[in-house]
Amino acid sequence: MQAQPPPQMPAPMPTPQSIQDAEHLRLLSIFHYVMAGLAVLGACFAAMYALIGVFFGAMIPVAATSGGSGAGSSSGMSPADARVFEMMGWVYGFFGGLGALYALGLAVCLFLCARNLAHRRKWTFVFVIACIQCINMPLGTILGIFTIIVLQRPGVKALFDQPDAAGGSIE
């Protein structure tokens, strides 16, 4: 005769607070996906800014040496002015490139944060990204503050500690 396993206790009924916590996490996940999309859009504008800067940095010396309006005419720009404008173009391109890299990095972090919120895992990562996101005014600040407030609830911390509904931890 084989021993039977002990009877399992039924799952506890969800409380109104736990339902509200789950809904808030779902909404925060959606809003983080939206912010990730906006960050990608910002990266596109920064990349365009960088390309314009690189274009001007590369074309100013050509325009200064070739002349502008006719055969044999000069551009009216001294070599020192041409160097200054060339340098400005490269500086614009450099800072535009940095802005594009920052926005793409932020978009990746926001996307991962949204996934982790949806799957209720990596509480610390989500919290750190919410704090960093407060720098991006005004929408990032609002979303970051609301995310921090929701993450501080004891019920939400408990949701992040539970294994996935499929039976195991997702990580």
- Return the domain boundaries, the chain: 23-66+78-161
Reported confidence tier of residue 11, pLDDT bands at 50, 70, 90: low
Using the CB atoms, write b or e for 61-71: b if 16+ within 10 Å.
Answer: eeebeeeeeee
Q: For all residues of the chain together, what is the average pLDDT? A: 83
Residue showing tokens 């070739």: 66
Cα 21 to chain center, whole Å? 24
- What percent of the chain has a predicted confidence (pLDDT) above 90? 47
Q: Is 143:133 a contact under the CB 8 Å cutoff?
A: yes
First to last CA, the chain: 40
State which of 1-10, 41-50, 67-76 shows the largest mean pLDDT: 41-50
| pTM of the full structure | 0.73
pLDDT exceeds 60 at position 121:
yes
Question: What pLDDT does residue 67 have?
Answer: 55
Q: How many CA atoms lie within 13 A of 43 on its CB side?
A: 15
